[in-house]
Amino acid sequence: MIAVLDSSDVAAARSDYQKARTDAELKTRALERAADLYQHKAIAEKDYQQAVADDNTAKSELDRAQTQLKDLGASPEGAMDRLAVTAPRDAVVLDIGAAPGEFSKSLDAPAPLYTLADLSTVWVLGDVYEKDIVGVKAGDRAEIAVSAYPGQTLEGRVGNVGDAIDPVTHALRLRVVLPNPGERLKPEMFASIRVLRATLNGIQVPTSALLRESGGVFVFVQKSPGHFEKRAVTPGRAVGSDVEITQGLQAGETVVAEGALLVRAS
């Protein structure tokens, strides 16, 4: 339990519930008597049917009163105007926005009563500069260094990469999800993020080495000093300024990286 509130709404709801419960009990007993009298032909059928209708109405009103209490998070028992507020799960209190005895209306309150957080997993927020965003994506591994624990490196995963560049810093917002056993990491700590981007296991060439014409992709391969061969290749994934070549090149071959348009096969 984190707080006890004095609430006029709870008081009214509990009063309605008590009245509805008392009325339902009276109507149930009246129906039992009417059923017994009707069985012995002591009352008319319409009187018995009226008792049934009164009992159903009372039970419906009791259900309504119970629902109102449930919506308020209150139980039928307890002081008439008191409401015990409990945390929905295990959490840490980050901030208390109310003082004992403070009067507050739920729709007009300037701040929440409490701010709670589950610190078993934390978010590490950072900025990626525009020139470094190529290849950064959700799911990438990330290493976190925290100023409070020098020499230690924590590992998490990129949970989200922003969709818009900040017009002032020209950076993209990045969020890393990090397990926090023992809750050693605290909100507002300073940390640095190093994203471990996937590398290509294969032949890579600069993107500038690729030529596209007639629906194909080509590179110029040096056969000997001053002699080049125009060769069709199949590009794969791109990472930064390089691209993977899946077919057409062998490891160790030299390609023209700059000015390929000025080279002629010979």
CATH number at residue 30: 1.10.287.470
| Between 102 and 52, the higher pLDDT residue | 52
Contact 211, 219 (CB under 8 A): yes
Inside any domain, residue 100:
no
Inside any domain, residue 106:
no
Residue 241 tokens, joined: 């300024």
Inside any domain, residue 115:
no
Inside any domain, residue 107:
no
pLDDT value, residue 244: 84
- In the three-class reduction of DSSP (H, G, I as helix; E, B as strand; rest coil), residue 216 is classed as strand
Contact 218, 232 (CB under 8 A): yes
Inside any domain, residue 147:
yes
CB atoms within 10 A of CB 88: 7
Looking at 7-44, list the stretches that DSSP marks H as alpha helix, in order from N- to C-terminal side: 8-39
Domain that holds residue 133: 121-196
pLDDT value, residue 93: 78
- Domain end residue (candidates: 144, 171, 196): 196
Burial class of residue 233 in the structure, from the number of CB atoms within 10 Å of its CB (0-12 exposed, 13-18 middle, 19+ buried): buried
Largest Cα–Cα distance in the chain? 121
Three-state SS string over 136-178 comes to CCCCCEEEEEECCCCCCEEEEEEEEEEEEECCCCCEEEEEEEE
Residues 211 and 182 in one domain: no
**Run of H or E residues at 61:** helix 45-71
Residues 165 and 209 in one domain: no
Contact 231, 224 (CB under 8 A): no
Determine the residue type at 90. D
Place 110 in a pLDDT band, splitting at 50, 70 and 90. low
Residues 8 and 69 in one domain: yes
Phi then psi for residue 128, to 5 deg, are -110, 125
pTM over 0.75: no
pLDDT value, residue 108: 63
What is the number of structural domains in the chain? 3
Cα 209 to its chain centre, rounded Å, is 43
- In the three-class reduction of DSSP (H, G, I as helix; E, B as strand; rest coil), residue 264 is classed as coil
Place 67 in a pLDDT band, splitting at 50, 70 and 90. very high
Range 100-116 average pLDDT: 69
Inside any domain, residue 132:
yes
**Residues with Cβ < 8 Å from 266, sequence gap 6 or more?**
226, 227, 228
Q: Give percent of the chain with pLDDT exceeding 90.
A: 28
CATH of the domain at 186: 2.40.30.170
Residues 231 and 182 in one domain: no
Residues 170 and 147 in one domain: yes
Inside any domain, residue 91:
no
Place 138 in a pLDDT band, splitting at 50, 70 and 90. confident
- State the DSSP string of 71-126: HTT--SSS-TTEEEE--SSS-EEEEE---TT----TTT-SS-SEEEE-TTEEEEEE
